[in-house]
Amino acid sequence: MRTIQQTMGRGMTGRVATFGISTLAGLAMGALAGSAQAADDTIKVGILHSLSGTMAISETTLKDVMLMLIDEQNKKGGVLGKKLEAVVVDPASNWPLFAEKARELLTKDKVAAVFGCWTSVSRKSVLPVFEELNGLLFYPVQYEGEESSRNVFYTGAAPNQQAIPAVDYLMSKEKVQRWVLAGTDYVYPRTTNKILEAYLKGKGVKDEDIKINYTPFGHSDWQSIVADIKKFGSAGKKTAVVSTINGDANVPFYKELGNQGVKAQDIPVVAFSVGEEELAGIDTKPLLGHLAAWNYFQSVDTPINAEFIKSWKAFTKNDKRVTNDPMEAHYIGFNMWVKAVEAAGTVAPDAVIDSMIGVAVPNLTGGYSAMLPNHHITKPVLIGEVQENGQFETVSKTPGLVPGDEWSDFLPDSKDLISDWRKPLSCGNFNVKTGKCGGKGT
Amino acid sequence: MRRALRWLMAACVAIATTSAALAADLRPLVQTMGSGGYSGTEKALNQLSDAGDPAAVPVIEALQAGDLYVRKADGLVVIARKVGAGYALTDPLSGAALGEAAAGAIDRIKVNNAMRRAISAALGALTLMSPDPAVRRSAADAVFKSRDANALDALNTALAKEKDERIRRAMEQARAAVILTAGASDADTQAAVATLAGRGDRDALALLSMIAASGASDTAKTAAAAAVATVEQKLMFWGALQNLWYGLSLGSVLLLAAIGLAVTFGVMGVINMAHGEMVMIGAYTTFLVQQGLRTYAPGLTDLSVLLALPAAFLVSGGVGVIIERSVIRWLYGRPLETLLATWGLSLVLQQAVRSLFGPTNREVSAPSWMSGAFELGGLTITYGRLWIVVFAFAVFAALLVALKRTWFGLSIRAVTQNRPMANAMGIRTARVDALTFGLGSGIAGLAGVALSQIDNVSPNLGQSYIIDSFMVVVFGGVGNLWGTLVGALALGSLNKFLEPYAGAVLGKILVLIFIILFIQRRPRGLFALKGRAVEA
């Protein structure tokens, strides 16, 4: 029997699942889960990732991992005694289309939760839809923070779970004094660099020791920028590059670094958007030792990760497929959702939103991640060095878990804001100075 | 010669006898490398290099290569090399075989950046006396980078013995770097600063400005500051030349991407939005050729890019002919419909490639003769870019010859200039149309081979070049190949001269504004075609 049905774009005609909360709550926990009478009904889960266009390179993998997670959950008997059914739509890397497809998933397919988006601009585009229709979105990618919505659960890293620890590592271990902040020209790198700039200046780094450089999406000629980095690095102080370069532009960037002989021993590059998947298209021998900061690496040596990689390779029937950080974020987010739904006994959004907070599930690095009241999660921060085989080797791991901080403490606009979606506060941007809900941001 | 040999033998004997005596002392140090994580290994490594015994070299080399392991059963540090499913173990100091072990029974000693630095410093200090000149040279460079005060004695001894002038110079520079960092008498400092100023590159500049900012003595500071000024002036001159080279290099990439379009759009007048996808198909052909060679003829992998050239030309050209026969020939003289149809085609081709090869990037590795860089005075020229410049001009020349000197070129020109007359003379115009379009597409395929070396091999490869290609052709003058050449080089240089001042984003915008203004003044581009062909 096919347990997963994909519908591409066009919604399924047919039953609209209705849920008798009290009766089904009992069913979910008990041995009756997956019994014959429940098999007829399904819970729909939306997958909103680009399968074509420029972001397909990253997002297709996330669609696949969601299908795998749903498949595995169904093998375990589904949720609340019902099978899960994936509804896959393709927003085609087109930001307004993301909003349209999100509306379609929520109103037409009546999905219980949506897992999706990659770029910040796509998340911003669907945000009003999820808030208007009271849907649930699980967002799996590291992002710039400065946002907290009641309807969104951010399972990727906030800046304090990626950027700040990476800079700290370089400062303490590599004694870096001069910084190049290189990024693609859009909201995530700009906000992250703003936070980093404020943070570095707070640490006593001078203006002339920070260089910020933006490039367009898909920039392919890096000769003069790499030469510029070399020049900036020859001022007698240890220099590092913090890269928020996104997407396709990374391949020519790293190729140029390799060709011009920028070695990690001399000028290390730490990247926030380069994972195993991006390195798959590059010859990594000249890049040995360059760094990336994530919350997960495929090379993490834990039994639970080994199992995840094994089932991923089996599911995709491809021995060469790699795993990466946003995949782990979906793994965590999906399991949290399952747990919260089972605790609430229903998939009704309000009940699930309330029961999500405090839910803890195992992550793939050997610990537990918990959902915080600000809808961000706790994660360990890992710094890895690129190896010759295209994998990362962890060279530093935070001793404990780092809670995600949505409103950066280093930006004047947001340092007084907190987010707490528990009652009675229920506010995404509470200003602790004025004592009022509302301020900058959403 | 004989003296050198005798010296070498003496050195070998000395090393052999001392290593026998010292190996015992190194063993506990080697053993401690396996414990204490990164910092523990690094500490042991530093002690090992301070011991100054060349017997440690194989151990450090094994650590660098990632071949140094700890045997889990007894914590013994061993060198392990993969043999079949397991590993063959040897003793790191004596090289004696220690049997085999399964992958699970040994733990690799991990290496991070700080340790890699320490490794090259240690190897540098220990191999200064190596009989191999290349090793001595890189040892001197390593010491220059590490500026390790402990290496000074070794450097002095090596300098006294060194005969090769270039290695001597490298060693002197390394010695100057060590002296400046450690601090020395005024005379020595000044001599060291002079040596570094003579080197005059970025590394020297980095070191000198460090001394100028926080040197050991005031004399050192002032001397270094003066040297910094001289070196910076010299580098500025080279910087301008470097920009010129970057401009030429970007220009040649633009030329490659645009030259096929100069045929289909410029000569035939077809607005081909799928031009970028022809480039992409060329890049994927390169990938396939390389994959094929890797599997069936691993020895030829280094030539894969060359072998991919005819393949990419034929595949892209073939696709071009099919497109012309099936779509474009029905749309001649209807530019708007052509634009829409070819744009749709480009989406179809992208998605087809995405479905066939997957959405992720494919790796096309650079052959050895295209990787790395060389220094020319103060210029860093990467081999990959150099070959692309050469290739772009070769393709341009070949196309020019094909159009001007061959019968096929003659018929192309005849058909585009006066179709009815060409028809009347017995030229099969429909076939010429298809072949011309195929030629333009094939050249785009060739561009794809070159671009696979510097850009992503992904379904989106072509998209990033289509706008630039049209820009070049329109700027240079539609229908004129020389215009395309001059246009590509001019835009490339303009872009590269703006980039350092305006940044990549603003630079691109400024170039676009420049083109818009230019087209206002000269609507037909740099080299406008004159005469009846314009009206056709």
Q: DSSP strand E in A347-437: where?
A: 360-362, 368-370, 378-379, 382-386, 392-397, 402-403, 417-420, 427-431, 436-437
Q: How far apart are CA A348 and CA A77, in angstroms?
A: 20
CB count within 10 Å of CB B63 equals 30
Minimum-distance CB partner of A231 among B202, B210, B383:
B202
DSSP-derived 3-state class of residue B74 = coil
B362 to chain A: nearest residue by CA?
A: A281
Using an 8 Å Cβ cutoff, are B128 and B155 in contact? yes
How far apart are alpha carbons B409 and B401 in whole angstroms? 8
Q: Is B458 on the interface with A (CB under 8 A)?
A: yes
Report pLDDT for B478. 82
B265 touches chain A (CB under 8 A): no
Measured between alpha carbons, how far is A155 from A142 in angstroms, rounded to an integer? 8
Does any CB of chain A come closer than 8 Å to the CB of residue B344?
Answer: no
**Contact flag A234-B206 (C-beta cutoff 8 Å):** yes
For residue B350, the distance in angstroms to the closest alpha carbon of chain A comes to 9
Inter-chain touch B505–A215, beta carbons under 8 Å: yes
Task: Give the confidence band of A52 by pLDDT, cuts at 50, 70, 90.
Answer: confident
Question: Which residues in chain B (221-240) have CB-CB distances under 8 A to chain A?
Answer: 239
Q: Are A50 and A93 in contact (CB under 8 A)?
A: yes
pLDDT tens sequence across B350-386: 999 988 998 778 888 888 898 888 888 778 899 999 9
> Other CB atoms closer than 10 Å to residue A168's CB: what's the count?
17
> What ipTM did this prediction achieve?
0.82
Q: Which of the four pLDDT bands, split at 50, 70 and 90, describes residue A1?
A: very low
- Average model confidence (pLDDT) across chain A: 87
Whether residue A359 has pLDDT greater than 70:
yes
Contact (CB<8Å) A214/B503: yes
Residue A100 pLDDT exceeds 80: yes
Instruction: Quote the pLDDT of residue B7.
Output: 59
Closest Cβ opposite residue A281 in set B454, B457, B500: B457
Q: Give chain A positions within 8 Å (CB) of B386.
A: none
**Surface of B (197-216) touching A: CB under 8 A:** 202-203, 205-213
Which residues in chain A touch residue B114, judged by CB atoms under 8 angstroms apart?
Answer: 173-174
Distance from CA of B155 to the nearest CA of A (A): 22
Residue A33 pLDDT class (50, 70, 90 cuts): very low
Nearest CA in chain B to A213: B503
What residue of A is the nearest CA neighbor of B111?
Answer: A395
Q: Tokens in use for A212?
A: 């910020």
Q: Report whether pLDDT(B533) > 60.
A: no
- Out of B211, B359, B505, whose CB is closest to A185? B505
> What residues does each domain of chain A span?
21-157+302-377, 160-300+383-403
Contact: A289, B113; criterion CB under 8 Å: yes
| Rounded Cα gap, residues B501 and A248, in angstroms | 25
Which residues 291-320 on chain B approach chain A with CB closer than 8 angstroms? none
- Considering only CB atoms, B500 lies closest to which of A52, A228, A237, namely A228
The answer to whether the Cα torsion of A16, A21, A24, A28 is positive or negative is: positive
Chain B residue nearest residue A278, CA to CA: B361
CA-CA distance, A420 to A150, in Å (whole number)?
A: 9
How sure is the predictor about B73, in pLDDT bands with cuts at 50, 70 and 90?
confident
B505 contacts on A by Cβ (under 8 Å): 185, 214-216
**Cα distance between residue B412 and residue B422, in whole Å:** 9
* Residues of chain B neighbouring A251 (CB-CB closer than 8 A): 361, 455-456
pLDDT of residue B536: 44
Nearest CA in chain B to A220: B455
Taking contacts as CB-CB distances below 8 angstroms, the residues of chain A near B383 are: 259
Provide the pLDDT confidence category of residue B253 given band limits of 50, 70 and 90. Answer: very high
Q: Does domain A21-157+302-377 have CATH number 3.40.50.2300?
A: yes
Q: Judge whether residue A120 has pLDDT over 60.
A: yes
Q: Mean of the per-residue pLDDT values for chain B? A: 86
Each domain of chain B, given as residue ranges in start order, spans: 24-120, 127-216, 239-535
For residue A146, give the nearest of A183, A102, A98, A194 by alpha carbon.
A194
What average pLDDT does the segment B263-271 reach? 86
d(CA A93, CA A75): 32
Contacts of A28 (CB under 8 A, 6+ apart): A79, A80, A81, A342, A345
Nearest residue of A to residue B241, measured between CA atoms: A224
Q: How far is CA A149 from CA A341, B228, B505, in A?
A: 19, 54, 32
Pairwise CA distance, residues B121 & B376, whole Å: 27
| Lowest model confidence (mean pLDDT) among A72-86, A206-220, B143-157 | B143-157
Using alpha carbons, list the distances in angstroms from residue B459 to B255, B343, B351, B360.
Answer: 21, 15, 7, 8
Q: For the ranges A142-151, B39-48, B466-475, which has the lowest average pLDDT?
A: B39-48
Q: Is there a contact between A234 and B116 if contact means CB atoms under 8 Å apart?
A: no
Q: What percent of chain A has pLDDT over 90?
A: 64
Distance, CA of A132 to chain centre: 23
User: Has residue A239 got a pLDDT over 90?
Assistant: yes
Per-residue pLDDT at B401: 95
Which residue in chain B is spatially nearest to A260 when comparing CA positions?
Answer: B373
Distances (CA, A) of B330 to A160, A332, B268, B365: 59, 54, 14, 41
Amino acid identity at A118: W
Distance CA B324, CA B329 (A): 6
Q: Mutual orientation of helices B407-417 and B383-405 as an angle, nearest 10°?
A: 70
Interface mutation vs chain A, best among B460, B499, B501, most A CBs within 10 Å: B460
How much of chain B exceeds pLDDT 90, in percent?
32
Class of domain A160-300+383-403: alpha beta
Which residue in the set A214, A259, A385 is minimally distant from B382, CB to CB?
A259
Task: Give the CA distances from residue B7 to residues B4, B134, B527, in Å, rounded to whole numbers and listed in that order.
Answer: 5, 18, 69
CATH code of domain B239-535? 1.10.3470
Nearest CB neighbour to A283, from listed B358, B365, B463: B365
**Most A-contacting residue of B82, B113, B242 (CB-CB within 10 A), to test interface:** B113
Residues of B in contact with A288 (CB under 8 A): 116
pLDDT band for B2, please (50, 70, 90 cuts). low
Q: Do B113 and A221 touch (CB under 8 A)?
A: no
